[in-house]
Structure 1
Amino acid sequence: MESITASLKEPVVSFALLLAVILLVPPIFERLRLPGLVGLLAAGVLLGSSGLNLLNNKSETMTLLSDIGKIYLMFVAGLEIDLAQFRKTRNRSLAFGSTTFLVPLITGTLVGRLVGGFDWNASILIGSLLASHTLLAYPIVQRLGVVNDEAVTVTIGATIFTDIGALLVLAICVGVNKGNFSATSLAVLLISLTIYSLAILFGFDWLGKEFFRRTKGDQGNQFLFVLLAVFLASVGAQLVGVEKIVGAFLAGLAVNDVVGDGPVKEKVEFIGSVLFIPIFFVDMGLLLDLNSFVKTLSSFGLTLAIIGGLIGSKFVAAYIIKLIYNYNQQQLLTMWSLSLPQVAATLAATLVGYQQKILSEAVLNTVILMMLVTSILGPLITARAAAQLTPDATTIADAIDPLDPPVESKKTGDFTVVVPVSNPQTERYLMEMATLLARHESGRIVPLAIAQAHARMDDPEMDKAVRRSQMLLDRAQDLSRELGVEASPQLRIEYDVAPAITHASREQDASMIVLGWGGRLGFRARLFGNVTDSVLWSAHCLVAVARLLDSPLKIRRILVPVENLSTSAIRPVRFAQILAQVNQAQVTLVHVCDPRTPQGKIAWTRSQLSLIVSQLSPDPPPTEVEIIPQDNVTQAILKASQGQDLVVLRSLRRRVGADGLAIGEVTTPLVKQLTCSVVLLGEPHGALSSVLATTRSPSPSSLS
């Protein structure tokens, strides 16, 4: 028995238990329509001293992993800030950032002094906890296509100022708490922090660009460089005399432009979102004493004052900016709701304040409750308010007339579709799909077979793989003759399938890649890897992932869900139009909106979609536009798909929020439940090639 007890205290057991919690608990809570992070906190309470006492937050294992999670949390917060959006509205972002920082700071300080009875240092720190915000609802405004609305871009830019301001106040409060803090030491701290910040922001940015330029496609070393930058910045912050999370946040800002939206960013965020950041939330749960938490809630006064003060002060700050810049009511509510959630900087700073014994356990409990309330309330309000915003006319113009060069600028016959063939059972349908596209563009197809490489080229298995690949290419050649399209079969011998596809596509100057269905989605694909995902990351052109249940030649009814009027959301419409034109099929566009959307906005959206249909093609196929007011987007699209032969979806990448937890999307559950053929149309990051030929569109002014 003693040996079993001793074994359970081993660090590897604690780590295995943490992995089990991270894997199993969040999905259960999400099925209950609760945030996954709530499940992680609850698991921490259950496994901590208030429950089964299986995990100890003071153990070396938990301390190390939680510290890494805390650093990662703030790094991701800096990495997720859209600097391009910030640069568009820098001055107004500064105004809103200052307002939404100072008003809650003053409110929180007064609450700490008058309601909580804390000293000035603790009260100011409480105020700083209310001053920052986490863009938890950013995916909502992105899905609604209103990211370019000025109120949204101003709020995104303001995040930089609120987070930096909150971390600066934290650094000062921690310094004051350690004693021997004078005006001179404050001046030295501020000067040191300024020099350090400039060194991180400009030094790491320059180093990162140089390193990425020299290493080019070496994603492994680039990934290690980013990790090294994060932890070096954290160590540097401690040397300067401030908290590690300050350095982590600055490192995120510094490498923001360097990593862009590429695969290195995905890998960095993935490691944090599935491992370290969830462990941080579990550790927060371990800190919670259940009896004390219930007692804090029952006292009610401080809890109500802090949460009410946050909600009220954030609204006042947004209202002041509304008056200054003459924003409308929906923009006011959008700014308020976007700046309401308190997750990343707030939780990290709270933990530091609690560990430094500046903040009491009651404040820790209240902040966790505040996080839960605002992380639910903020996105709910955003979904309703942002749905009333009108997408900017320039966004619609870009959707119809992308800035990138259209395919039709190429000479006739230059349109090339690469079709990787590996499964004889799906080869014919993929070839037919590629044929339809190539025939419309007077182009050609390139059947591509990949034989898995071996260390010895005379290995019998190598011979077998080559023969099988050649057989697939012979079948593809026969199919191309039958379908009446020029084909140029290619055989490649490679160790990795995904690079072979993308390299061959680049060599052939492909306009499009048509991939067969990989069958793996969601968490498993992100954890174990997926050829489709890798091709999407590295391909230079558009990628169509097809799950075809019947011959594409028989498609007569095509459904295209359109979530907004952005360029990426509209391109599937053109894809569907081409399939419909060669098959004499009908296209149905469906847009699911909030049930509370005004009739005027619905009519406007319908007219814009009809306009886009007419502008994308000089002779568009028969097209219907359906606007469905419903909360459940997935169910609405599933119902609309009944009787359809094909559904064309955008292959959206799972976005990791600033809280480090993966945010679910509509695409994955849809694909799992659709009973007809599906095409996932995915654009690689930074792709500058247009998908299929479009007519030249009118000027932006004619679309407004």
Structure 2
Amino acid sequence: MELIFQLLAVEPASQTLTKDPFIPFVILLLVILVVPLVFERLRIPGLVGLLAAGVILGPQGLHILQRGVPPMELLPEIGLIYLMFVAGLEIDMEQFQRTRNRSLTFGTFTFLVPLIAGTVVGRWFGFGWNASVLIGSLFASHTLLAYPIVSRLGVVNNEAVTVTIGATIFTDIGSLLVLAVCIAINAGEFSAVRLATLLGSVVIYAVVILFGLDRAGKEFFRRTGDDEGNQFLFVLLAVFLAAVSAQLIGIEKIVGAFLAGLAVNDAVGEGPVKDKVVFVGSVLFIPIFFVSLGLLIDIPAFIKSISTIWITVAIVVGLIVSKLLAAYLAKLVYRYNWNEMLVMGSLSLPQVGATLAATLVGYEAKLLDERILNSVLVLMLVTATLGPLITSRVAPNLIVSENQIEPESTPAYWHPEAADTPFKVLVPVYNPKTEQYLIEMAALLARQAQGQIVPLAIAKATAHMDAPQLESAFQRGEQLLENATTISRELGVEAEPLLRIDDAIAQGISRASREQKASLIVMGWGRRTGLRARLFGNVIDSVLWATNCPVAVTRLLNSPTQIQRILVPVESITPQAVRKVQFAQMLAAATTAQVTILNVCSRRTSTAKIAWMRSQLSLIVDKLALPTRPEIEIKPHDNVSQAILEAAKSSDLVVLRSSRRATSAGGLIISDVTAQLLAAIPCSLVMLGEPQPAAAAALSETSSPQKVAVSKRPSSQNL
């Protein structure tokens, strides 16, 4: 074949592909777009597909991608830094503050026990002390892959769960610091003085990054207001500045990236900037890192080496046993039950982010060999599967001692009779075709609460206040407001129309809501789709992030005055679910409609658990003291989406809730189940989004202290 190429004076295709850096980059984009989708359709994690693509396209396969050659020289390094930064950014600091002492104790257990176990495994297979301690540090960290499961089940407030979440900070920081010391020792002669100097530098560096970037971030975000572009750039600068600074003092970049994630955690919060930062990393840089990791895998050598198989078994078994042992020690100290112990163990079991990053650093420093690299990849696949599986089986049986539903202590906007200000519904109007139903919906809610509506029209500001387009927008807005006032008057509700000039539609809605002290915003569904909506968001997305009150995003197929049957799917007994029921009941009272609360459980759920769930929902309904008692339906079904769709066929309106898991077309943040429902639901629907935690906390100061305690019994398995 080479002779043919020489005779034809052409180069082999693999050499041609690697010469131009743009061609490998295009191939990378194609891989990270297509491969995860294909593997997930086969019910195999997309991560496995990226690793497999790296093996096939790398030195062990087609030789198309090579480490150290553009673009595989810089982009995987950025992906590695981004991976650790996102790990720090995703840690919930508020939950950590609640149980930091117990988190420190469990963090110590789940750090030291696996560290010792990993060190023993390393020594057993002939590694030196330095390499063995590094192997132990790989055991010590963990990734909270199963957090969405406990969140969905409504048991996040269980102490065992919050303690495990908080322990993540200690284990990740500890394992990264051990990595820094081991790499420094491996680099050359190392004395006690140099060790003390390094540790001192690390401590000073950590303090400067954690407190310096935190203060700088808060001040920058305060000064820039709604300028998301500059805030996004500030976050990127912070992470790479921290990574470079870490290198200057002799520690690994990933340590700085993780600390930067913790540092800007508070400033970024749960807002659109964080959404965009995570989005850029998850769709580009981090997948490229996993593809590059696949380039290092030597499958033939792994299969041929029997010793590698035994060290892989030792690493996997040692990790699982040590993590469960650490959870058992926490059980003995704090008297947790067996279910809580197993949840702590399973939550701390998955080894993905910090473990992979540290392994790659150790491998590139020649401190770890291919046996450890291959074994850690197997460890990642096993623990990333086993941990969430155990959590999904055990978490439903937790005692939810802290999970109290507080219908009377929820923000005042859900209790208009207890609020100091009149109940106001803000209705942004733009499309004359949807205005009628929007105003009717708002008027019905306001009439039931003895409040008023505020129809809002916004004219986008121009450089000159006498510009023709501004005058045209004013005339259009005045016509819309006049129509809204007429519709509201026909329904017997007072309207206070508002026409304002603002730089942006979303900010105008949020500012008007705050200025008018609105209790609720009712909006129509936005239809903008595609990458632009995903990356930059749309009006609905921006309002949901910034608002001070709930937002009801509606898709109304018929007049709200004709609604007679309202379906409210409830996944678990949480305060958010209760408020969704309260919203539906407020609308039902205005139209004499019947509300049905639907809970979908697995067909394997026992009769006792179904009865317990029914009793808990009945207890909540009784405590809410609603004028008309909702119907409660528990439906065993293996497909949640299909069960809701079947129930929606006999309903006029379905009330769903917005949650931060995935971004659908149009920018609204929704759950995976909700994404499947949006296009298929045959009737009208409302997506109910609530304000950010900080805003909600500020608004809840006027709330009453009455609580409804949930019985200390296990919840249904698939809620």
1:66 match: 76
Matched, 1:14 2:24: yes
Matched, 1:268 2:277: yes
1:407 match: 416
2:224 match: 215
1:616 Cα shift?
2.5
The whole-number CA distance in structure 1 between the counterparts of 2:645 and 2:532 is 24
- Give the 3 Å change call, closer, same or farther, for CA 495–46 of structure 1 in structure 2: farther
Matched, 1:627 2:637: no
Match of 1:92 among 76, 96, 102: 102
1:399 and 1:565 in contact (8 A); partners too: no
1:136 and 1:341 in contact (8 A); partners too: yes
Judge which range, 260-269 or 151-160, deviates more.
260-269
Judge which range, 670-679 or 258-267, deviates more.
258-267
1:387 and 1:597 in contact (8 A); partners too: no
| AA of the residue aligned to 1:236 | S
> For 1:129-155, what per-residue CA distance to the aligned partner results, in whole angstroms no more than 9, with x for missing partners?
111100111111111111111110111
Residues 220-619 of structure 1 correspond to what in structure 2 (within 5 A)?
Answer: 220-295=229-304, 300-392=309-401, 394-402=402-410, 406-410=415-419, 414-455=422-463, 460-519=468-527, 525-593=533-601, 599-619=607-627
1:471 Cα shift?
3.2
2:254 and 2:357 in contact (8 A); partners too: yes
- Give the 3 Å change call, closer, same or farther, for CA 46–482 of structure 1 in structure 2: farther
1:520 Cα shift?
5.0
Judge which range, 69-78 or 495-504, deviates more.
495-504
| AA of the residue aligned to 1:79 | L
Match of 1:644 among 648, 651, 654: 651
The whole-number CA distance in structure 2 between the counterparts of 1:522 and 1:617 is 44
Judge which range, 311-320 or 630-639, deviates more.
630-639
1:174 and 1:356 in contact (8 A); partners too: yes
1:63 is paired with a residue whose SS is coil
1:659 match: none
The whole-number CA distance in structure 2 between the counterparts of 1:403 and 1:208 is 29
1:281 Cα shift?
1.4
The whole-number CA distance in structure 2 between the counterparts of 1:639 and 1:268 is 38
The whole-number CA distance in structure 1 between the counterparts of 2:18 and 2:461 is 44
The whole-number CA distance in structure 2 between the counterparts of 1:494 and 1:425 is 23
Judge which range, 487-496 or 164-173, deviates more.
487-496
2:568 and 2:595 in contact (8 A); partners too: yes
2:329 is paired with a residue whose SS is helix
1:119 Cα shift?
2.2
1:670 match: 677
> For 1:280-328, what per-residue CA distance to the aligned partner results, in whole angstroms no more than 9, with x for missing partners?
1121122223433444689521221111211122112212222222211
2:621 and 2:629 in contact (8 A); partners too: no
1:340 and 1:378 in contact (8 A); partners too: yes
1:357 is paired with a residue whose SS is coil
Identity across matched positions, percent: 61
1:244 Cα shift?
0.6
- Give the 3 Å change call, closer, same or farther, for CA 260–52 of structure 1 in structure 2: same
Structure 1: segments with no counterpart, 5+ residues: 657-661
2:425 and 2:453 in contact (8 A); partners too: yes
1:594 Cα shift?
5.1
- Give the 3 Å change call, closer, same or farther, for CA 698–674 of structure 1 in structure 2: same
| AA of the residue aligned to 1:351 | L
Judge which range, 345-354 or 99-108, deviates more.
99-108
1:185 Cα shift?
1.8
- Give the 3 Å change call, closer, same or farther, for CA 606–346 of structure 1 in structure 2: same
Q: Which structure carries more relative contact order (alpha carbon 8 Å, separation 6+)?
A: 1
1:652 is paired with a residue whose SS is coil
| AA of the residue aligned to 2:152 | R
The whole-number CA distance in structure 1 between the counterparts of 2:93 and 2:427 is 37
1:87 Cα shift?
2.2
1:399 and 1:568 in contact (8 A); partners too: no
- Give the 3 Å change call, closer, same or farther, for CA 206–527 of structure 1 in structure 2: closer
2:46 match: 36
- Give the 3 Å change call, closer, same or farther, for CA 689–77 of structure 1 in structure 2: closer
1:97 and 1:159 in contact (8 A); partners too: yes
Judge which range, 173-182 or 485-494, deviates more.
485-494
1:616 and 1:695 in contact (8 A); partners too: no
2:336 is paired with a residue whose SS is coil
Match of 1:49 among 54, 59, 64: 59
- Give the 3 Å change call, closer, same or farther, for CA 146–521 of structure 1 in structure 2: farther
2:660 and 2:670 in contact (8 A); partners too: no
The whole-number CA distance in structure 2 between the counterparts of 1:612 and 1:234 is 50
The whole-number CA distance in structure 1 between the counterparts of 2:704 and 2:109 is 44
1:353 Cα shift?
0.8
Judge which range, 570-579 or 182-191, deviates more.
182-191
1:103 is paired with a residue whose SS is helix
Matched, 1:111 2:118: no
Judge which range, 626-635 or 59-68, deviates more.
626-635
> For 1:488-535, what per-residue CA distance to the aligned partner results, in whole angstroms no more than 9, with x for missing partners?
223334452211221222222211111111135797632252211111
1:387 and 1:593 in contact (8 A); partners too: no
Structure 2: segments with no counterpart, 5+ residues: 1-9, 664-668, 713-719
The whole-number CA distance in structure 1 between the counterparts of 2:88 and 2:358 is 15
Matched, 1:136 2:145: yes
1:25 match: 35
Matched, 1:153 2:136: no
> For 1:334-376, what per-residue CA distance to the aligned partner results, in whole angstroms no more than 9, with x for missing partners?
1111011111100100110111111112221221121112112
Q: How many residues align?
A: 694
- Give the 3 Å change call, closer, same or farther, for CA 701–7 of structure 1 in structure 2: closer
2:92 match: 82
Match of 1:206 among 197, 215, 219: 215
| AA of the residue aligned to 2:677 | L
Matched, 1:682 2:700: no
TM-score normalized with structure 1 length:
0.91
1:404 and 1:688 in contact (8 A); partners too: no
- Give the 3 Å change call, closer, same or farther, for CA 400–565 of structure 1 in structure 2: farther
